[in-house]
Amino acid sequence: MITSAATTPPERLSERDLQRLMAVVHRHAGIALGPEKRVMIEARLGKLARRTTQSLHDLIGAAEAEPDGPVMNDLLDVLTTNYTSFFREPAHFAWMADTWLPAMVRRRRPIRVWCAAAATGEEPYSLAITLREGLEQAGVDLPVELWCTDVSRRALAVATAGVYPASHVQNLEPMRRRRWFLRGVGQSEGRVRVNPELARMTTFARHNLLDPPPWTQVDLIFLRNVMIYFDDPTQAKLLATLHGALADHGFLVVGHAENVRRLVRGFRMHGHSILEKQR
Ligand X SMILES: C[S@@+](CC[C@H](N)C(=O)[O-])C[C@H]1O[C@@H](n2cnc3c(N)ncnc32)[C@H](O)[C@@H]1O
Q: Which residues are catalytic?
A: 44, 150
Interaction of residue 201 with ligand X, rule CB under 6 A: no
Name the helix (H) or strand (E) containing 251: strand 246-254
Q: Are the C-beta atoms of residues 176 and 143 closer than 8 Å to each other?
A: no
Q: Rule CB under 6 A: which of 92-131 touch ligand X?
A: 117, 119, 123
Residue among 228, 272, 268, 231 at smallest CA distance from 246: 268
- Nearer CB in complex with ligand X: 18/127: 127
| Nearer of residues 65 and 257 to ligand X, judged by Cβ | 257
One-letter amino acid of 4: S
- Residues 241-260 within binding reach of ligand X (CB under 6 A): 255
* Residue 114 beta carbon to ligand X: minimum distance, rounded to whole angstroms: 12
Interface with ligand X, residue 152, by CB under 6 A: yes
CB of 47 to ligand X, least distance (A): 17
Residue 213 within binding range of ligand X, rule CB under 6 A: no
Nearer to ligand X, 224 or 243 (CB): 224
Using the rule CB under 6 A, is 158 a contact of ligand X?
Answer: no
Residue 50 CB coordination number (10 Å): 13
DSSP codes joined into one string, 159-179: HHHTEEEGGGGTTS-HHHHHH
| CA-wise closest residue to 25 among 210, 206, 155 | 210
Shortest CA distance to 211 belongs to which of 74, 68, 80? 68
150 binds ligand X (CB under 6 A): yes
Q: Which of 13, 18, 29, 242 binds ligand X (CB under 6 A)?
A: 29
Burial of 126 (0-12, 13-18, 19+ CB in 10 A): buried
Q: Which residue among 192, 198, 209, 242 contacts ligand X (CB under 6 A)? A: 209
Number of residues that bind ligand X (CB under 6 A): 24
Distance linking the first and last C-alpha atoms of the chain: 69
Whether the CB-CB separation of 177 and 195 falls below 8 Å is answered with no
CB 180 within 8 A of CB 198: yes
Q: Shortest Cβ contact with ligand X: which residue?
A: 84
* Residue 208 near ligand X by CB under 6 A: yes
Report in angstroms how near the CB of residue 279 gets to ligand X at its nearest: 27
Residue 123 CB, shortest distance to ligand X, in Å, is 5
Residue from 13, 21, 22, 31 in contact with ligand X (CB under 6 A): 31
Least separation in angstroms between CB 80 and ligand X: 4
Q: Is 189 exposed, middle or buried (0-12, 13-18, 19+ CB in 10 A)?
A: exposed
Residues 246 and 37: their CA atoms lie apart, in Å, by 35
Say which amino acid occupies 80.
Answer: T
Applying CB under 6 A, the span of 82-90, 104-112, 133-141, 241-249 interacting with ligand X comes to 82-90
Q: Which residues bind ligand X (CB under 6 A)?
A: 29-31, 80-84, 88, 117, 119, 123, 150-152, 155, 208-210, 224-226, 229, 255
